[in-house]
Amino acid sequence: MDPLRCTRCLAAIDAQLLSDLRPLQEVAAQPAQPDPACQSWTGRFQRPSPPKLSPRKARSWRGSTVHPTKANCAPATSVAVESSRPPRRRDTLWPQLSTQQLLSVAVAVVVLVLAAHLLAPLPHGLVQFFATKPHWRVTSATGITLRSPFVFTSAPPTCPKPEQQVEFAGTFYTHTKRDMALAQEAQRVAAEFEFGPDHVRKATKEFIREMDEGLQSEGTELSQIPTYVTAVPNGTEKGLYMAVDLGGTNFRVCSIQLHGNTTFSLTQSKVAIPRELMVAKTSKELFSFLAKQIEAFLKTHHEDHYFSHLERVNTGDTKGHEVFNLGFTFSFPVNQIGINKGLLMRWTKGFDIQDAVGKDVCALLQAEIDELGLPVKVAALVNDTVGTLMARSYTSPGKTGTLLGAIFGTGTNGAYVEKLDKVSKLTSKSDAGTYDKSTGEMIVNTEWGSFDNSLRTLPDTSYDKELDEKSVNPGIQMFEKRISGMFLGELLRLALVGLLKEPKIPLFKDEDSSKNDVHSTTQIHDNSPIHQQWGLDTSLLSICAGDHSPGHRVIRQTLDKDYGISAVSAEDAEAVKVIAAAIAQRAARLAAVAIAGIVINTGRLETSSGTATTEQKTGIEPSRGQVDSSGRGDVPEEDVIDIGVDGSLVEFYPGFEDEIRQALREIPEIGDAGEKRIRIGIAKDGSGVGAALIALVAGRVEQAIA
């Protein structure tokens, strides 16, 4: 029953009351003077004489009305109607009243009728006024007339309040009942990725143990490879250096001008490696191509220097002529036996040139450079993680050098500055090669992606197991498979697929469209990447972490646009967000294990002495930029422990560093005070700037040895 019907009820009551009042209104409106056709009267109504009727009709005569109207006062032409009933005298129906009395009676009746109409809602109104929850009530018109007035019951009939209508029904993102089963399952899966404080402490102790083991012997899980780089830059270095980077299908050539104030200028070019050279029959074909790209770069960007060198060579006057020191970033497995010597162990990334395996890659490149007569010397063989450490040390503010360079991107690795006497597997060798011993330090490439391959302390969920079993290198790089960007997206995919296989779990499933707040049934398209290995990119985790929109609309749009899952509900998006956050949090806490292990094991928390830099060997106190370089809090500059990081995870995932720091505080050897001393900064272009800086260090080492 709606409000319109209630209005009609009230109208019916009014109409009934008016019809009952109409006769009384006619009486009240009767004129005081009798009709001229009637018998006159004085003070009282006089009954007119009955008409003369024949005796035959006298018995059936019916008297006319007592009221003196024209009908009553007509000449005696009234027609008598025979009837078997006895005649009734109508003049006895009304008492003889005065005009004043009659009007008083009429007025009283009118007043009663109006009072009844006005006061009828009063009892219900009083109840409504004092009710706890007022609602609409309208008394029914049934039974309320002048002949049957004011019939009330204990509960008068009411018109119920109409239900509120939902405006814009069927539009996107309307509210639906939350499905708690999916939320609970998402929390259950997220709990599988928890890596609590006790686990962090236990893993840190294991990392330290493997660090020491790797420094003493070969073939350990943590490789701990000596790099022959014995000092890091401090930002005061000047000069023009070159770097080349063979990291995959592209070859990059750079020249770096160091300005001596922690800044630099970089010029670079990049060229794709032809497919036929990646599988050439001889190494000469590939390295000749690389040397020609260096030549082209010099002609384009250093024309004067290049042609000046050629002129000197032609005249035989090469004494004192400047030669570019070049850092060679070679991102393939090598056995490094000197700062510019490394034997290729095997090819990866689609390369397959058997002629080069076991040869010194620096010597192969230098031979082709010399054949072209270029003013370039391959001064250093560079690992990109070591380059990250060098680049950070040059650009970071502060008085001390950087302790650690770490990469948290597609892969993960770390290189740090170690005391030379602890690298016993190098110092005890008779054929270790030449290196500078004056600093007492050496940069060590940890290759920590293989930390704890035996899974003594690393977490190992069913998703980790499945990822490892289906990878190209099962059983190795177990630490990397739980941290790096290459694998985190796949872990999320496996967790979601696990929920999809459960028929009772409503992930990306709807019984009907009303269960979905976009009022459309969720669909996973046949070609959705969620069904393909490596189908989910780790960038989805960053999107989930950064989406604070109502209903997680950014996540839903991403799943629809990039992953073929349409009409994703808010509950679906929330479940994805919860699981993705747990995976990323575990990765950050594992990253803290590696950082903490190096900080603790190098003894930097117990001493204020920093890393040896290139200028300290000559007793120069380097002047750094005027930049606030303290750690997280009020920490003296000499107590700051500087760490350089690079990679998409640490750079773009929201809160990744915060999670690392939280885990660091949970380790007793570090705690709140130690964590405040750690300064984490972004280091860019380790394979470019870092390689050039290593070439600089290598050149100075060569001069020192000479």
Catalytic residue ranges: 331, 346, 384
Question: What is the C-alpha separation between 567 and 519, in angstroms, rounded?
Answer: 8
Query: DSSP string spanning 229-293?
Result: ---B--S--EEEEEEEEE-SSEEEEEEEEEESSS-EEEEEEEEEPPHHHHT-SSHHHHHHHHHHH
Distance CA 515, CA 493 (A): 24
For residue 444, the cross-strand partners are: 226, 416
Cβ 652 vs Cβ 645: under 8 Å: no
- Helix 3-28 to helix 99-119 angle, to the nearest 10 degrees? 170
The radius of gyration of the chain's CA atoms, rounded to the nearest angstrom, is 50
Q: What angle do CA 621, 622, 626 make, to 5 degrees?
A: 125
Please tell me the total number of residues recorded for the chain in this structure. 706
- Hey, what's the torsion of the CAs at 336, 338, 343, 349, to 10 degrees? 50
Judged by phi (left if over 0) then psi (alpha if -120 to 50, else beta), residue 239 lies in left
CB 657 within 8 A of CB 574: no
Indicate the residue type of 439: T
Other beta carbons less than 10 A from residue 605's beta carbon: 16
Alpha-carbon distance of 343 to 335, in angstroms, equals 5
Q: Distance between CA atoms of 569 and 601, rounded to whole angstroms?
A: 49
Q: Give strand pairing partners of 413.
A: 407
DSSP letter at 401 equals B
Instruction: Measure the CA–CA gap between 560 and 548, rounded to whole angstroms.
Output: 18
Query: Parallel, antiparallel, or unpaired: how do β-strands 250-259 and 264-272 relate?
Result: antiparallel
Which phi-psi region, left, alpha or beta, contains residue 84 (left: φ > 0; alpha: ψ -120 to 50)? alpha
Cα 59 from Cα 609, distance rounded (Å):
146
Can you read off the two tokens belonging to residue 263?
């800044």
CA distance 463 to 207: 23
Listed in sequence order, the DSSP H helices in 501-552 are: 539-546
Amino acid identity, position 706: A
Both tokens assigned to 267? 């010029």
> Would you call 84 helix, strand, or coil by DSSP?
coil
d(CA 357, CA 575) in angstroms, rounded, equals 49
How many Å apart are CA 331 and CA 329, to the nearest integer? 6
* Distance from C-alpha of 614 to C-alpha of 229, rounded to nearest angstrom: 11
- Please, what is the Cα angle at 445 between 443 and 449, to 5 degrees? 155
Tokens 């010194």 sit at which residue?
360
Closest listed residue to residue 296, CA positions, set 244, 361, 367:
244
Q: Which two tokens stand for residue 531?
A: 């069904």
Contact present, 452 and 500 (Cβ < 8 Å): no
